[in-house]
A and B are shown apart, each in its own frame.
Chain A
Amino acid sequence: MGERLLTIRDLNIEFDTPQGVVKAVRDVNFHVDKGEILGIVGESGSGKTVSVMSCLGLLTDNEKIVRGEILFEGENLSSAGIRTEKERKRHEQFLNTIRGNKISMIFQDPMTYLNPVLTIGTQLTEGIMTHQKCSKKEAWDKSVELLRKVGIPGPERRMYQYPYEFSGGMRQRIVIAIALSCDPKLLIADEPTTALDVTVQAQILELIRERAKADNTSVIMITHDLGVVASLCERIIIMYGGKVAEEGLAEEIFYEAKHPYTQGLLGSVVKRRQAGDRREPLESIPGTPPDLLKINRGCPFMSRCPKAMKICKDYIPAVTPFSQTHSLSCWLYCKEQARELVERQKAEMGAGLG
């Protein structure tokens, strides 16, 4: 096992909305090792994007980290506990030395994440010039080199062009070039292929893998597409309803999935059929992802779980390890603890009656 790069402990994030407080992320723990590619899989609203956005302090005004640590190379990036405006400013300044420098991001939609009124050259060099002591000329040369590395032909000329003059796939390559511009230690890719044509998705993924391996950069790949993680990631985290449902190496998730949600996800992937196979209908998970405003006290997946038990309604299952790398949180696999809970409840009720 490699050296820890990023460790997230007990992360809790809440949104203030006009309808009430949304607990978007609850007690999330995970870590990323140096040089490793980690996949985070979940439906929209599962808290996967918010968890990683919080690492860079990119939450909006109404979203905040209420509790938890985000340790990156020994420094805490979490804004939990910051009260005064002065502290907030200092923290923001500190984060600015990390953002785009040691940790950088690739976003979902390259159409909207590039500024339409600035040239590619400006958008590439500004990050380099912010973080590295170098002249405009050096930054420019480095940017040209980066564009070449991500596979954009004629980079010298392309530097003067605007985003609208590029295709979607090309723009995503530019976004990747910007993300790589300061040789980050950690690259966070938030659904980098969702908005792209199917034909270029594989190229982009391959590009990310190739660049990451070349510079020994760690990658967090956020996606809802199991195909993406299968081809790319070494370790996978499955999130549901703001919590980690299951975590494990890619083989463990794909071949030994234990959590009913993971099993459901795997079941709903289109499988390759051989000639003569029986036509089976595509499986799906019934229901919709939970509304985090009205979430119940227990397991968030309870309402859609085919194996739900009464205990799931009121009690959140603890994290149960299966192997060094594989763990999950489901009452089906921690009957021991469940029994303890039952005993304790009974004793309390008995005491209450007596």
Chain B
Amino acid sequence: MVKYIVKRIGIGLLTLFVLVTVTFFLTRMMPGSPFDIANLTPANQEKMISFYGLDRPLTEQYVQYLGNLFHGDFGVSFKKAGVTVNDLIASLAPATMKLGAISYGVSLILGTALGIWMAVTRQDLVKGSILTFSTFGVSVPNFVLALLLMLVFGVYLNWFPVLGLSTPRHYVLPVITQSVYPIAQISRLVKTSYTEAMSQDYVVMARAKGLKGSRISLLHILKNAMIPVITTSGPMIAFLLTGSFVVENIFTIPGIGREFVNAVSNRDYTVVMGLTVFMGILIIVCNLAADLVCVLVDPRIKMAE
């Protein structure tokens, strides 16, 4: 068990290192200087560049960046004077993470419920409708969904507010936007794995013991059926993070996604880098957590490793 965790953490750190390195060099290779603004004289530009250390050799900058990161310092923004990336993350991350966590929770519950329903129902109509919904869910791009929801429920019907995240009602539309795709994916996964688990011998054994139907389906079958869902939670979190780029833009939510897109268009290197690395860490941590939950649910995994 300990060996397995250490190994997973090792892979996580390696991933993080690759991620930081790639991000650093990609951002440094980008065309255009961050200080390429009309009202800045060439002399002042020079000054700015040397102030931020951009004139030193790349390797030196890289080593320094790594060192700073190691101490938890993501650097300062080139564009917003005096604002550190740490400040940005501290003020913006909660909104994004809250939205993401709620969306993931909703998707997990609804997706699992729909998946089980699809697996056990004998009515072809129900099965067909849920399947069509889930195809619809994976087919509609999230920006389309966000715009439609905003237009219909925010502007025309005026049922829900569409600006910011100040009250619980503000969460409704962004959460729906973010959850539809994961719900569709999870319900399909659960349907497949649940159907498969239902046909396993241990279910016959559980029935032969005279157990109640609810215990058989919620413990014996579901615990087995959830394993693939847990393993895909990493990519799901990544999906929610990238989804936040458009969702936060459309619903004007002050979060990491919106800031990232802004930084990209402003060519604010350190912010782009810092946010990328931060999102990378988030995803790596989530993957690690998913791996651990997996081992708790299915003890065979650590044997296979």
Report A-B touching, CB under 8 Å: yes
How would residues 88 to 111 of chain B score, 1 for a CB under 8 Å from any chain A CB and 0 otherwise?
A: 000000000000000000000000
Taking the complex as formed, is B220 at the interface, i.e. its CB lies under 8 A from any CB of chain A? yes
Query: Given the interface contacts A58-B204, A107-B201, does A116 sit within 8 Å of B300 by beta carbon?
Result: yes
Residue of B nearest to A128 (CB): B209
A114 touches B (CB below 8 Å):
yes
- B residues less than 8 Å from A116 (CB atoms): 202, 224, 298, 300
A166 contacts B by Cβ under 8 Å = no
Binds A, one of B9-17, B65-73, B210-218: B210-218
Give Cα A58–Cα B211 distance, bound, in whole angstroms.
13
- A101 lies within 8 A of chain B by Cβ: yes
Q: How far is the CA of A115 from the CA of B206 in the complex (A)?
A: 9
Which residues of A are found within 8 Å of B299, using beta-carbon distances? 117, 162, 164
- The interface centre, meaning the residue of B213, B219, B297, B299 with most chain A CB atoms within 10 A of its CB, is B299
Contacts of A101 in B (CB 8 A): 210
Decide if B224 touches A117 in the complex (CB within 8 Å). Answer: yes
CA distance A116 to B227 in the complex (A): 12
CB distance from B210 to the nearest CB of A (A): 3
Chain B 184-227: CB-based contact to A (< 8 A → 1; otherwise 0): 00000000000000001110111111111101000110011001
Q: Are B205 and A107 in contact (CB under 8 A)?
A: yes
Q: CB-CB < 8 A to A117: which residues of B?
A: 223-224, 227, 297-300
Chain B residues 114-135 with CB under 8 Å of chain A are: 122
Cβ-neighbour of A99 out of B209, B219, B227, B297 (below 8 A): B209
Contacts of B204 in A (CB 8 A): 58, 107, 113
Cβ contacts under 8 Å, B303 to chain A = 164
- The CA-CA distance from A96 to B208 in the complex, in Å, is 8
Q: Which of A207-266 contact B (CB under 8 A)?
A: none
Total contacting residues, chain A, CB less than 8 A: 30
- Whether the Cβ atoms of B300 and A105 lie closer than 8 Å is no
Asked if residues A130 and B210 are in contact (CB atoms below 8 Å), the reply is yes
In whole Å, how far is B218's beta carbon from the nearest beta carbon of chain A? 12
Of A98, A105, A115, A162, which one neighbours B202 at CB under 8 angstroms?
A: A115
A58 to B202, CA, bound (A): 12
Task: Indicate if A118 sits at the interface (CB-CB under 8 A).
Answer: yes
Cβ-defined contact, B298 with A126, below 8 A = no
Scoring A residues 109 to 131 as 1 if CB is less than 8 Å from chain B, else 0, what string do you get?
10011111110000000110011
**Cβ contact of A113, chosen from B122, B202, B223, B297, cutoff 8 A:** B202
A162-B300, A164-B303 as given contacts; A114 in contact with B209, CB under 8 Å: no
> What's the least CB distance linking A107 to chain B, in Å?
6
Instruction: Check if A56 sits within 8 Å of B224, measured CB to CB.
Output: no
Give A164 to B295 CA distance when docked, in angstroms.
14
| Chain A residue nearest to B122 in the complex (CB) | A61
A205 to B264, CA, bound (A): 73
CB pair B211 A114 closer than 8 Å: no
Binary CB contact string for chain A from 168 to 190 against chain B (1 if under 8 A, 0 otherwise): 00000001001000000000000
Partner of B219, one of A104, A113, A118: A118
Closest to B296 in A: A117
Q: How far is the CB of B240 from chain A (nearest CB, A)?
A: 27
Instruction: For the complex, give the distance between the alpha carbons of A113 and B209 in Å.
Output: 12
A-B contact pairs, 6 of them (CB 8 A): A58-B208, A113-B201, A115-B220, A117-B299, A130-B210, A162-B300
Q: Besides the contacts A97-B210, A126-B209, what 9 more A-B pairs have beta carbons closer than 8 Å?
A: A61-B122, A98-B210, A99-B207, A100-B210, A107-B201, A113-B201, A118-B223, A126-B215, A162-B300
Interface residues of A (CB under 8 A from B): 56, 58, 61, 92, 95-101, 104-105, 107, 109, 112-118, 126-127, 130-131, 162, 164, 175, 178
The 5 A-B pairs of least Cβ separation, nearest first, read: A99-B210, A100-B209, A100-B210, A112-B201, A115-B202
